[in-house]
Structure 1
C-alpha cells in the first residue's frame, strides 16, 4: 500500500496518508482524504519515503479516499461560496455577545463535519454560549481555535516585500523562531519596517541562511582580535562573512580589507562579533527580540460543540 505526504487545511497541515490498493498519485494531484477532523481536500506533495517522512515533525496520519472528481470540485466551490455567509454570521454573533475576540477566518471542512473558527484574543475567552449559538445557526459542529498574529498572516496574507507569495502560506509547514541577532549577523537593515513581515514580526526568511552565517563566522577571528598578516599587525574591526574578508586597522591607522586566508597568527582573540556574541550584545538581543516562534504564535484548539 503506497503512502503519500499531503498538505491540507487552511493552516496547511502536513501528513502521511495511505492510498487504497493500486491507487497511484503524483505531485499536485488533488485528493479527498480522511483526517481526524473529517473529510478534507488535500494536495499531494510527494511519495512518503523514509527519507521524506524523517523530515516531518509530528506529522498527522490518515487515508486517501479517492482522487478529486469534477463533482467534488463543484461541491468545494459551492462550499467556498457559503464561507462569506458563515463569516458574517460568526462576526454578527460575536458582536451580539460583545466578546473580546477578533474573528480572523472560518474554515468549512469538505465533508461538512465541522466549521473551524480562527480568532485572535489577548486573553482566554469564555465562548461556550457562542459555540452553542453558532452550532444552532450553522447546523454543524463548531471548533474554536485561538491563533497568533503569525498564524493570521498564514491564513490571510498574499505577497511579501520580495514580490512572491508569503512563505508561511506556501512552503513553510512550521514557522521557525526568529530573533534580532539573526538580522544583525547578516547585516540586514535594522529598520523594523523593512525586516518585518506581513504579520508585523521579524521575517521568517531571516532564519534561512543564519546557520550558514554562523558556520562561516566561526572560521573568522572575532572582532577586536589582534592579528598578524603579511602586511603587519592589525586589529579586526568588522567581518564580511560571506566573502570571507576582514576589515582591519593596521598599526599605521590604515583601514584595509583583507582575505581571511591572509591572517598568519591571532595574537589575542577579541570577544565581539556582528552576531552580538558579547555579553552586552546578548542582553540587548534578548530585550530587543525574544523568540518569535514560541507558543503565543501557535494555533491552539480550545473547544468544540456538536
Structure 2
C-alpha cells in the first residue's frame, strides 16, 4: 500500500505515512520537500507574504503584489503590471519572508507597493518578449544617430523594451540638462512606440553595460551591487594606497566602489594608532618614524646615520610620547626593540605528476657544457699546411697546388643504389654529352684530371662541396 502523496502511486510502507498523507520514509521519488517542511514548521493559519520581488534587465528589481496567491518559485517568468499600462516580463528573485526583510532594508513600506502580478508568463508572452529584446540593439544605434544629427551633448547607453513591445525606455548620460524634445518626436516617428528618457550616472551606466574589473571578475555594479555609496580619496588614504587616480578609478571613471569594502576594518585598526608621530626624543638622539603596521600594532623608528629600523609596540610609543611631553627621555630604543620572528619559507612541492615524461621547465636555462667543441674540431692541426680531416678518413680532401689546373665540375648519380659515386667529367669548352657518347650505366669512380683530386658527391647532401674552381686552361683531350 502507498500513501496518497506519492506520484508513483506506491512504494512507501504504511508506517511511513501520516494521517495528512505526507511521506517520511523517503520511498517517494518525487516528494515535495518544501511543502513537507512548510507543513511541519508553519502553523495551520499561516498566510504567506503576498509581496514578491521581480528582477528585470540591468539589475532592476521591484516589488509586486501577489493578490491571487499564485504559487511562484525563484527564477520563473511572470507577467506583471507595467508602470504606465500594459504588462512587462521579469524573473522572480525573492519570495516569502525574505521579501519582508528586503523591504525593510530598502525602507519601502507595504503601502507603496501597488502594482500586481497578472499571471505566469505563457509561451506567447515569452515569444513576444524575446522579439522585443532583439530590437534593443538596433534601436539604440538608430537613436544615437538621431542624437548626433541634432547635435545633442548626450550619450545613449542602453534601451529597455517593455514585455508587450509597446514602450521603450532610453537610458542616457550627460554632464548637464539636455533639451531632447525634438529627439523624442523623431524617435516616436521612427520606432512607433512610446518613448521614455531616463538620465543615469556613470556608475549606473557601467552597471548596465557590464565588464571585467582589474581584479579579473565581473563588475560588482553589474552583478550584485545595487546601492552606490559615495567614495572619496580619504578611503584610499586610510588604507595607505597611492593616490593615483588612474589606479583608483574604475571603468565608470569614478573611484572604485571596492575601496569602501575594507574601510571599516582599517578604521577600527587605526583607533589604537597615535596620530602625527614624527619622531621620539631619546638620550642618544632623535628617532624618526619610518612606517606603521596597523594590524600587528608595530611602529618602526630609526636614528640618523643608521640603517637599522627599530620596531616598537604601539603602547610603548604612547608611553614615550607622554614622557617627552614631561621632559623625560628614554635611554636607547634598541634595548626595547621587539624581536620579530624570522619569516618561514615553506618549499611547496608541485601538486601535479609528470605523467607525460616531460623534462623540467628550467631545462633551457642551463648553459651548454660543450659549447666550444665544434670550433675545436674544426681547428685541428692545419696551421702547418697539413691535410684537414674532420673525422672521416674515407673522404678525400682538395689538393690544389699553385700552378696546377683547377678541378672540373663533377655530378653525382642520385639514382645510384650501390653506395658508390658516379662522376661525369665535363671540361670547359668541351661539348655536352650526346647520343654518340652514351653515359656509362655502371658506376665508375671518377679519375682526377691533371692531378686534381675529385671528391665524391655523397648524393648532393651538401651543395657547397660540389662547387669547384673553374679551370683556367683547357684540359687535355680525353
TM-score interval for Structure 1 and Structure 2 normalised by the shorter chain: 0.7 to 0.9
Instruction: Say if 2:77 is the partner of 1:27.
Output: no
Deviation string 1:83-125 (CA, Å, 9 cap, x unpaired) is: 1221232123223323222221211111334211122223322
Q: Secondary structure at the match of 1:90?
A: helix
Among 195, 209, 228, the alignment partner of 1:156 is 209
> What RMSD over aligned residues (CA atoms) do the two structures have, in Å?
3.2
5 Å matches for 1:49-198? 49-58=99-108, 61=113, 62-198=115-251
Residues 227 and 264 in structure 1, CA contact (< 8 A), matched pair in contact too: no
Q: In 2, distance between residues paired with 1:69 and 1:238? A: 65
Q: In 1, distance between residues paired with 2:93 and 2:289? A: 48
Residues 234 and 248 in structure 1, CA contact (< 8 A), matched pair in contact too: no
Deviation string 1:264-286 (CA, Å, 9 cap, x unpaired) is: 747459xxxxxxxxxxxxxxxxx
How many residues are matched?
263
Shift in CA distance, 69/225, structure 1 to aligned 2, threshold 3 Å? farther
Q: In 2, distance between residues paired with 1:112 and 1:236? A: 67
Shift of 1:201: 1.2
Q: In 2, distance between residues paired with 1:44 and 1:210? A: 34
Instruction: Say if 2:55 is the partner of 1:7.
Output: yes
Of Structure 1 and Structure 2, the greater strand share is in 1
Among 209, 212, 235, the alignment partner of 2:262 is 209
User: Which structure is larger by alpha-carbon Rg, 1 or 2?
Assistant: 2
Q: In 2, distance between residues paired with 1:58 and 1:111? A: 27
Unaligned runs of 5+ in 1: 270-306
Q: Secondary structure at the match of 1:144?
A: strand
Shift of 1:234: 7.2
Shift in CA distance, 51/88, structure 1 to aligned 2, threshold 3 Å? closer
Q: In 2, distance between residues paired with 1:266 and 1:45? A: 58
Moved more, 219-228 or 139-148: 219-228
Q: In 1, distance between residues paired with 2:77 and 2:292? A: 48
5 Å matches for 1:249-268? 249=301, 255-258=309-312, 260=314, 265=319, 267-268=321-322
Q: In 2, distance between residues paired with 1:215 and 1:4? A: 38
Shift in CA distance, 5/188, structure 1 to aligned 2, threshold 3 Å? farther
Structure-2 residue corresponding to 1:248: 300
Residues 157 and 198 in structure 1, CA contact (< 8 A), matched pair in contact too: no
Shift of 1:227: 8.5
Residues 115 and 141 in structure 1, CA contact (< 8 A), matched pair in contact too: yes
Deviation string 1:53-72 (CA, Å, 9 cap, x unpaired) is: 22115587332333344443
Tell me the TM-score normalized by structure 1: 0.73
Structure-1 residue corresponding to 2:65: 18
Shift in CA distance, 221/142, structure 1 to aligned 2, threshold 3 Å? same
Q: In 1, distance between residues paired with 2:77 and 2:313? A: 52
Shift in CA distance, 82/21, structure 1 to aligned 2, threshold 3 Å? same
Q: Secondary structure at the match of 2:116?
A: strand
Shift of 1:171: 0.8
Moved more, 142-151 or 66-75: 66-75
Tell me the TM-score normalized by structure 2: 0.49
